[in-house]
Amino acid sequence: MFGFFGAVGPSDVLKDALPIFYTTTGGLLAIASGIMGGIYASFYTISAAVKTDFTSQAVGAGTNFLSYGGNSWAGDIMGLTEAMWVVMYIGLACWIVGSPFSIAWEMDKAFREVDAAKQNAKSYDYLFTGLVTAIGAWGAGAALKQSTDKLIGFFDIQRTDVNSYYQAQTSKQASWDNFTPVMVDTIHHGLTLFFYWLLAAAISGGSYTYSYYYITQPSPGQ
């Protein structure tokens, strides 16, 4: 960014810089943002899902099979359901890391096909493209991170012995078995998780799609 403003400033500080400098800077910013965003999202996803201290009651009722297993088949697959969402989160984090490399590669290929007379102007276009990709990558990573405690952590506090728990709390016989509340809660929560995951995917995928077609299929006046 400082290089950009230095070049367009009144002193024309970087007027003799190589035209490809801004293109490579845009690609580097996108790659760095993608790597940091992917690590950021993955670290907090794993922290929310994997508990290593089982001595505290605050950890939750659904942290391991010893706690949640044996009450219904819906409860027995609670850990598997959480693992599926962890894989979805980390899979999206992998996309966040990898997609800026693809954009940087496309920028480099396209820039080398640009006429020498147009390279200076085009380099600023690709710097902008790199910034768009970087914002999308970091935004998606931050979106995933912000949801890990509540959306992934939900499975660690979900009880599967709900029938017995209800009776202990109310001294009344529940009209449903252990299966029904667990399945209903898992479906409701799964829908919330899925659409929030789509939001994060749209942030990263939207910026990638814009950048990709901006490079590979430029408009006539571009």
Is position 105 within any domain? yes
Check: CB of residue 122 under 8 Å from CB of residue 111: yes
User: CA triplet 18, 19, 21: central angle to 5 degrees?
Assistant: 70
Q: What is the pLDDT of residue 4?
A: 46
DSSP state of 11: T
**How many domains, in total, are found in the chain?**
1
Question: For 111-164, how does the pLDDT look when each residue is reduced to its tens digit (9 = 90+)?
Answer: 888 787 777 778 888 889 999 999 999 999 999 999 888 888 777 766 666 666
Is position 40 within any domain? yes
Is position 11 within any domain? no
Which of 109, 123, 132, 108 lies closest to 33 in space, CA to CA? Answer: 132
Task: Compare 77 and 138 and report the one with higher pLDDT.
Answer: 138
For residue 6, what are the contacts with CB-CB under 8 A and spacing of at least 6?
A: 13, 14
Check: CB of residue 13 under 8 Å from CB of residue 6: yes
> Average pLDDT of the chain?
79
Is position 199 within any domain? yes
Give DSSP secondary structure letters for 199-219. Answer: HHHHHHHHHHHHHHHHHHS--
Q: What is the pTM of this model?
A: 0.78
Looking at the predicted structure, is the pLDDT value of residue 9 above 50?
Answer: no
Is position 10 within any domain? no
CA distance 1 to 195: 34
Is position 3 within any domain? no
- What CATH number should be reported for the domain holding residue 132? 1.20.120
Q: Which of 36-45, 70-79, 127-136, 149-158 has the lowest mean pLDDT?
A: 70-79
Q: Which residues span the domain enclosing 153?
A: 19-53+62-216
Is position 47 within any domain? yes
